[in-house]
Amino acid sequence: MRPSELWRTTPFRLTLMNGAVFGLAVLALMGVIYQQTAGYLTRQIDGIVVSEARNLVSGGSEHLPERVTQAVATDARHIGYYGLFSAEGIWICGNVRMLPPRFPIDGVPREIHSPNLQPGSRALVERLPWGEILYVGHDALVLTGLRSIEVNALLFSGGLALVLGLAAAALLSVRPLQRIDNLREASRAALKGELGLRLPVSRRRDEIDMLAGVANAMMDEAERLLWEVKSVGENVAHDLRTPLNRLRALLYRVSQETRLEGPERQMIDQALAETDELLTRFRALQRIGEIERRDRQAFFEPVRLQSVLEHVIELHEPLAEDRGVELAADIAADAPQVQADPTLLFEAVSNVVDNALKFTPSGGKVCIRLVTRPEGPRIEVSDNGPGVPQAEREAVLQRFYRAARTRNEPGSGLGLSIVTAIARMHHFTLVLEDARPGLRVALNCWPRGLEA
Ligand SMILES: Nc1ncnc2c1ncn2[C@@H]1O[C@H](COP(=O)(O)OP(=O)(O)OP(=O)(O)O)[C@@H](O)[C@H]1O
Ligand SMILES: [Mg+2]
């Protein structure tokens, strides 16, 4: 599972979005708390500043410098700022030696900005009844402390929320993603033609299950329609075979009982050959239908592939000799047995060997091999004939398709369709490869999907 996939899932995005909204709400809440607390503390500081100024002034002008000096001396935390200035603004005493520029002299506490003071510090400057100017200020250490507490809390809780949010989002998304992956796997197999496959539906009946249910219903319908279409073809083949047989018998009688000579005889013979060809095609079509409908397990038994191949070779040796093609074999004695229908396997390999002998020109070579792969045994039939170009390798498996370069050889284009049907029924894979030169047809005798 890639991170980009995780990001695209709805639970992941929803969780992150919820997290972001929650984070913003927390931020707003902290902001409001800070505003309220800072306002309250500022009012407190203002009160302190005003009452200190009042205390200092309450004794009158007498000993005021001493009281100011004392206030400075007793301020152990160094948060108080005091200054007494003459009517002209000349410093008399206190730890503030200069009046802040452009600061109103009206006895009202205000925020004061100075490099030595924390932001939010408050001060008042007041002209005393006897003309002197008094400065009383209070540093806002407490506000700075409050700010740093809030920033720390925000950083900590924000970081935690981010990590927890991402983890929760990932956790919530993994399960649906896995299920989607399963569905994807299942539909991929269905796309490859496994009509009986259905998408997994869990007992939860959530939105994914609903979609899988809809897809399954569609697949049911598609399968039903396909069977209908197929059976139409088979029914036609079945129904036409009787009249065709009769037609053939009739033609045969005509050819036997009339003493036709020359072109007329040739025409009758050609009509007979065409009828035979039609009958062969109908038989092959019916055979494919039979194989596709056959109950898979009914005829299955442990099969020694060596015997099947020996049988095929024995049967094809005379044909190979006739055509001047060398028929070689290389059969692994240790290849394991497979669960299969031996008659059908024989039919499949025969069809493939038949093709190889038919399409390989005289002097060529056909080799039948049985090899053992880690996944299971593999039957290979290779020849050094014309081969099938890459672009046509899928197509030659279809019914009636015959590759352009070999179209003048006899045949109806149904042999490989029968092989495909047999392979599919066994869950084996049929592979067409380039044998350089020629074609290699391989039957991987292990369940599809086991390949590395
Ligand atoms: N060994 C091969 N070498 C070259 N082309 C091949 C080979 N095997 C199959 N083909 C191509 O694949 C096509 C389909 O093969 P398939 O066995 O289905 O039909 P066919 O042999 O033409 O007719 P049928 O088997 O029904 O008598 C062939 O017409 C041929 O073009
Ligand atoms: Mg064939």
Domain hosting residue 22, numbered range: 3-144
Same-domain status, 309 and 289: no
Residues 233 and 335 in one domain: no
Check whether 297 has a pLDDT greater than 70.
no
Query: What local confidence, expressed as pLDDT, does residue 450 receive?
Result: 54
How many angstroms separate the alpha carbon of residue 209 from the centre of ligand 2? 44
The number of folded domains in the chain is 3
CB-ligand 1 contact for 356 (6 Å cutoff): yes
The answer to whether the predicted template modeling score (pTM) of the entire model surpasses 0.85 is no
pLDDT of amino acid 99: 92
The answer as to whether 452 is a domain residue is no
- Co-location of 384 and 327 in the same domain: yes
Task: Find the CATH number of the domain harbouring 246.
Answer: 1.10.287
CA distance 380 to 432: 10
Given 123, 144, 165, the domain boundary residue is 144
Question: In this predicted structure, what is the pLDDT of residue 116?
Answer: 81
User: Residue 183 falls within a domain, yes or no?
Assistant: no
Q: What is the pLDDT of residue 452?
A: 43
Q: Is pLDDT above 70 for 273?
A: yes
Most ligand 1 atoms within 8 A of CB, residue of 406, 408, 422, 441 to mutate: 406
Evaluate whether residue 185 is within a structural domain.
no
Under 8 Å between Cβ of 436 and 416: no
Cα dihedral 234/236/239/244 (nearest 10): -110
Closest ligand to 356 CA?
A: 1
Which helix (H) or strand (E) covers residue 430, if one does? strand 429-434
Residues 44 and 98 in one domain: yes
Contacts of 195 (CB under 8 A, 6+ apart): 219, 222, 223, 226
280, 319: one domain: no
**Predicted confidence (pLDDT) per residue in 41-77, tens digit:** 999 999 999 999 999 999 888 899 999 999 999 988 8
19 domain residue, yes or no: yes
Do both 374 and 241 map to the same domain? no
Do 243 and 322 share a domain, yes or no?
A: no
Residues 252 and 306 in one domain: no
> Both 309 and 422 in a single domain?
yes
Residue nearest to atom 17 of ligand 1 (CA): 415
Report the distance separating Cα 39 and Cα 240, nearest Å.
99
Contacts of 37 (CB under 8 A, 6+ apart): 146
CATH number at residue 371: 3.30.565.10
Q: Is 364 in the pocket of ligand 1 (CB under 6 A)?
A: no
**Shared domain check, 221 and 115:** no
Q: Are residues 284 and 309 in the same domain?
A: no
**Of all atoms in ligand 1, which is nearest to the CA of residue 405?**
31
pLDDT in tens, 145-203: 888 888 898 889 888 888 988 888 888 888 888 888 888 888 888 787 777 888 888 88
User: Are 350 and 434 found together in one domain?
Assistant: yes
1-5, 115-119, 212-216, range with the lowest pLDDT = 1-5
CATH number of the domain where residue 48 is located: 3.30.450
3 state SS of 270: helix
Rounded to the nearest whole angstrom, what is the distance from the C-alpha of residue 275 to the centroid of ligand 1? 21
